[in-house]
Amino acid sequence: MPMFEIVTEPDDVVAPALIVSFEDWVDAGAAGTTAARHIAEGGDVVATFDSDAIYDYRSHRPVLDIVTGIPKQFVWPQMVVIRRRLPERDVFVMTGPEPDYRWKEFADDVLELAIRIGIVEHVSLGAIPSAVPHTAPTPVMMTAATSELMRGHSPNEGLLRVPAAAVSLVEWTLAQNAIPAVGFWAQVPHYATPFAAGAIALVRKVESHLTVTIGAGDLEDQVRAQNTALEQIFADNPDATEYLERLQGLVGQDEVPPGENIADEVEKFLRNQRRGGGPTPYSP
């Protein structure tokens, strides 16, 4: 028995694509899930997953609303699939907290749902914390099931071994079953979350890859507000300004300082930032 439930049976689908992004790992600056929810905005829920089957409520606690001392409502973590009809085609956006349990079964059920809908291609969205400044365009890495899907992107050479994410297992499972699958991973500053500029960079990649029109919408307003807040933080903190200048000096370079040096700078910056009350750093 699948872990998902169809809420509304989708019909008249046009070249449907599945876009997947999960909170937690790997979603630095909430860029992936912010992009996914922006893409899904105005759509309709077509499926939900059984929260009891995939979540540990000690790590993803439900929210209890208490009104004048009376418990009124539990709000449970949810994994949902939303259909949005774009002018060019349909997109189905799956988002929610990363599952705690039964990853293999979960990925198989996503495959079953994708086949049922008729999904013809898949896109994963996420983000990683990197030694990049918020003042520069957001770099985006790409993964793909085949080299042909790279379409001119330059992949990282050699082996890159990273802690796996559930979103990557979904991408892998669909690719192993002949559904073309790619992933876009924004590289966002260590020190800024949420990071709307990273979400916009991912939306642009989705538009280009799927040949659709989405637009940035109110994400542009979020970027302006966040940049204003960050400018104030840096203006009031000479150490932070020095750190930012170092990051800006790395833009476009193939080599960055050793990891331990970057880590030292990040920690020094974050200590100063916490005292200044700025945006909170990302932590997986």
Residue spans per domain, the chain: 4-217, 223-276
**pLDDT the model gives residue 254:** 54
Q: Are the C-beta atoms of 145 and 201 separated by less than 8 Å?
A: no
pLDDT per position in the chain (284 positions), as tens?
899 999 999 999 999 999 999 999 999 999 999 999 999 999 999 999 999 999 999 999 999 999 999 999 999 999 999 999 999 999 999 999 999 999 999 999 999 999 999 999 999 999 998 888 898 999 999 999 998 898 777 777 788 888 899 999 999 999 999 999 999 999 998 888 889 999 999 999 999 999 999 999 999 999 999 999 888 888 878 877 887 888 888 776 654 444 444 445 444 544 454 444 444 433 33
3-state helix/strand/coil string of the chain: CCCEEECCCCCCCCCCEEEEEEECCCEHHHHHHHHHHHHHCCCEEEEEECHHHHCCCCCCCCEEEEECCEEEEEECCCCEEEEEECCCCEEEEEEEECCCCCHHHHHHHHHHHHHHHCCCEEEEEEEEEECCCCCCCCCEEEEECCHHHHCCCCCCCCCCCCCCCHHHHHHHHHHCCCCCEEEEEEEEECCCCCCHHHHHHHHHHHHHHHCCCCCCCCHHHHHHHHHHHHHHHHHCCHHHHHHHHHHHHHCCCCCCCCHHHHHHHHHHHHHHHHHHCCCCCCCC
Angstrom distances, CA of residue 176 to CA of 124, 161, 180, 252: 15, 20, 9, 35
**pLDDT the model gives residue 62:** 96
**pLDDT the model gives residue 279:** 43
- As its CATH architecture, domain 4-217 has 3-Layer(aba) Sandwich (3.40)
Q: Are the C-beta atoms of 189 and 230 separated by less than 8 Å?
A: no
pTM higher than the cut 0.75:
yes
